[in-house]
Amino acid sequence: MSSTTHKNVILVGGAGDLGKYILTALLADSSFNVTVLTRIDSKSTFPSNAKVVKVDYKDKNEIKKALTGQDVVVSAAGGSAMSEKLDLTLIEASVEAGVKWYIPSEFTADTNHPRFSSLPFIGAKLEAIELLKKNQSRIAHTLISTGGFLDWGFDNGFLGFDVSNHAVTLYDEGKNYISGTTLPSIGKAVVAIIHHPELTLNKRIYIADAVFTQQQALALFEKYSGTKWTVKRITTEDALKQGADYFAKGDIMKGVQAYIMSAIYCQQGASDFRGKTSNDALGVKTVSLEQAVKEAVERSKADATH
């Protein structure tokens, strides 16, 4: 990999579902000095070659000290860090510490899409973007839109495919386009983005392994699992109502899933990145939908035999 103008990179959430793949990609590139920032009371574990700094996120001075000298902060924080608006705290501390570049914990559909930005749990991401734009003269940013996590979302059913039970929920007949990226590809994309500030600073960058319809994915799932799948159908309008119902009942996990499906599987949905992706410009290789489906079926079969 070529040398970089941004060598000192600190990663937040480096043991998370996504963060561990970003950490692997950063550590594999010898042009970076990589540090992981983690909660003082975190039980997360990290590879032995990662430099780890623990902080109390309630202590701004402690965070500032940890960030001083860093060129780039990459946030892959998740879970309750979202409702606690950790990115806002870290952006403020980064500005004060003189960090050059902040990559917030976006990694989802396009948060600028009207249907996605109006969902009740996107507020923290939008506030982080607003704060970054307000401080653009003091710190650069890059917003990374990845669409659905393809491997993660096939394995846990989040995207509507239940691989072990050969069943699918098709939204709006499964005819609209969504984009998805596997976790290792996101890790590689983050590295490529830091290597190419001339293409990525103060921009939203769209990354995707595959842009596809549910119908296309279903045909591949049936091919690799060797059987017909059971199909349930729902409109994205009804999925939106379901999201609201689940939230009203306090079932936030199901609500988030229904809301996100309503925003991505509608026509010209929030992760329809056709014609917008930067994979080629950044030299980030893609995994085909066929490969992602084949591997998801193989993982499901391996799980069933354990």
Ligand X SMILES: NC(=O)c1ccc[n+]([C@@H]2O[C@H](COP(=O)([O-])OP(=O)(O)OC[C@H]3O[C@@H](n4cnc5c(N)ncnc54)[C@H](OP(=O)(O)O)[C@@H]3O)[C@@H](O)[C@H]2O)c1
Q: Which residues bind ligand X (CB under 6 A)?
A: 13-19, 38-39, 42, 44, 57, 76-81, 84, 86, 105, 107-108, 146, 148-149, 153
Give me the least distance between CB of 10 and ligand X, in Å please.
Answer: 12
Give me the least distance between CB of 198 and ligand X, in Å please.
Answer: 26
Reported as half-sphere exposure (CB side, CA atoms, 13 A), residue 2 has a value of: 11
Closer to ligand X by CB, 83 or 227: give it: 83
User: Any idea of the CA torsion for 11, 17, 20, 21, to the nearest 10 degrees?
Assistant: -100
Closer to ligand X by CB, 1 or 40: give it: 40
**Residue 212 · residue 160 · CB < 8 Å:** no
The amino acid occupying position 86 is L
User: Any idea of the CA torsion for 280, 286, 290, 292, to the nearest 10 degrees?
Assistant: -150
**What is the DSSP code (8-state) at residue 228?**
P
Give me the least distance between CB of 33 and ligand X, in Å please.
Answer: 19
Closer to ligand X by CB, 4 or 44: give it: 44
Closer to ligand X by CB, 149 or 161: give it: 149
Give me the least distance between CB of 151 and ligand X, in Å please.
Answer: 10
**Residue 39 · residue 89 · CB < 8 Å:** no
Residue 220 phi/psi, 5-degree rounding, is -70, -40
Closer to ligand X by CB, 97 or 122: give it: 122
Give me the least distance between CB of 127 and ligand X, in Å please.
Answer: 13
